[in-house]
Chains A and B, each alone.
Chain A
């Protein structure tokens, strides 16, 4: 099978990831839950993972919080900072992991900063225009999960810093492929999954917390610290890590991040862009195929959306699956992004790459697409 759905989950992982998770399953217990060897070994792995994240994303290790996925982290971030009656400014490319938690908070005013895909200057203008004094929080994803569009988060973060507005970054599609420097961006929170570009197992994620961000708990319970108190500790990471850790996942995530560190982030992005470039070139030459790509891929990562004129996107996805090619079709849990691009009615077919995909696979996909277009 050819797997082009890494924007959802990277399927091919470094071999060390599975080995570490399997070892953890049999030899590690839970950090902070005893003086015995399995607990101490688990604690070491967890801290090594925090330190690895600290080095990659420039945040102190104690402010690296383990979550179950990016959605979990975004829920904590949003519910810590957004209160009933607040005004929140978000980009027009947010995932439902942002839109749905916001929709549960009563009486909030959600402002949308948007423009067509791959127009970062227009998007920035929209942010400037809508960043009024009433805005109390800004939320933006780094890369659109639908279009691979790299949003100008550095400049958006600058705007927020100048006005003293907390900034939440959704790094779901950028962690592992683009530099994410929490210190430089000054993010209040940065959320990311472990199972995409960090090559960890499903059920892992990281929430990187800014120095002065208020932290609201989503869950309360045992932390292995201050156990005589009925209240959650007021310090991180314990405040946000109630209950037993997913140590098998964390052990795998550690190895995934070590893989990233070994390859360097720039190398992976370059490789993915090479694949996207070949796909754009091939798809664009097919009659009736509309490709959503940035000029010279200047603000595009390893994700690409397209449509086939006269064919339902799900039908294209189904036929590719019949050819042994895994892609994702539909709205990709991001109706706002499709609204911004004008594709809400039809949806798109999305291909998304990882460090393990090859040009031969892209060429096979293009041959399959030629047949699909010919026989539609």
Chain B
């Protein structure tokens, strides 16, 4: 199954994103961003499945969560940036 990582600028923002998505009925899970995509280090992301990505992005765009980036997890374990807000 394809997953997407929505990276947030801090743990608190990731937690807020997770709660917002949860209240919208969208399953999301917080995790530490992989080092390869965390830029300045120690970032956080929420993981959603492909099924929920569109709804998740629509929901998050309505909130003031600062800049977020979306990465697709690839079969070889790498990540491909697909969107930036």
Contacts and interface: CB of A to CB of B under 8 A. Distances in A.
A40 B30 CA distance: 9
Contacts of B19: 47, 51
B15 interface: yes
Interface residues of B, number: 19
B16 A62 contact: yes
B40 A43 contact: no
A32 interface: yes
B43 A225 contact: yes
Nearest to A54: B16
B13 interface: yes
B31 interface: yes
Contacts of A31: 11
A225 B10 CA distance: 6
Contacts of B16: 47, 60-62
B9 interface: yes
Given A51-B19, A233-B10, A238-B10, A35 B31 contact: yes
Contacts of B12: 47, 50, 61-62, 236-238
Contacts of A35: 31-32
Interface in B6-27: 9-13, 15-16, 19
B20 to A, nearest CB: 11
Contacts, number: 61
Interface residues of A, number: 25
Nearest to A238: B10
Contact of B41 (A34, A226, A237): A226
Contacts of B15: 43-44, 47, 61
A32 B40 contact: no
Contacts of A32: 10-11, 42, 44
Contacts of B66: 235
A229 B9 CA distance: 13
Contacts of A50: 12
A34 B41 CA distance: 13
Contacts of A47: 12, 15-16, 19
Interface string B28-67: 0011100000011111100000000000000000001010
Contacts of B11: 31-32, 43, 224-225
Nearest to B12: A62
B41 A228 contact: yes
A227 B41 contact: yes
A280 B33 CA distance: 59
A34 B30 CA distance: 12
Contacts of A43: 11, 15, 30
Interface in A222-252: 223-229, 233, 235-238
Interface in A29-44: 31-32, 34-35, 40, 43-44
Nearest to B67: A235
A226 B31 contact: no
B9 A227 contact: no
A43 B41 CA distance: 18
Interface of A: 31-32, 34-35, 40, 43-44, 47, 50-51, 60-62, 223-229, 233, 235-238
* Top 7 A-B residue pairs of the complex, sorted by shortest distance between their CB atoms: A227-B41, A228-B41, A227-B42, A47-B15, A32-B11, A226-B40, A228-B40
14 contacts: A31-B11, A32-B44, A43-B15, A47-B15, A47-B19, A62-B12, A62-B16, A225-B10, A226-B42, A227-B40, A227-B42, A228-B40, A235-B13, A238-B12
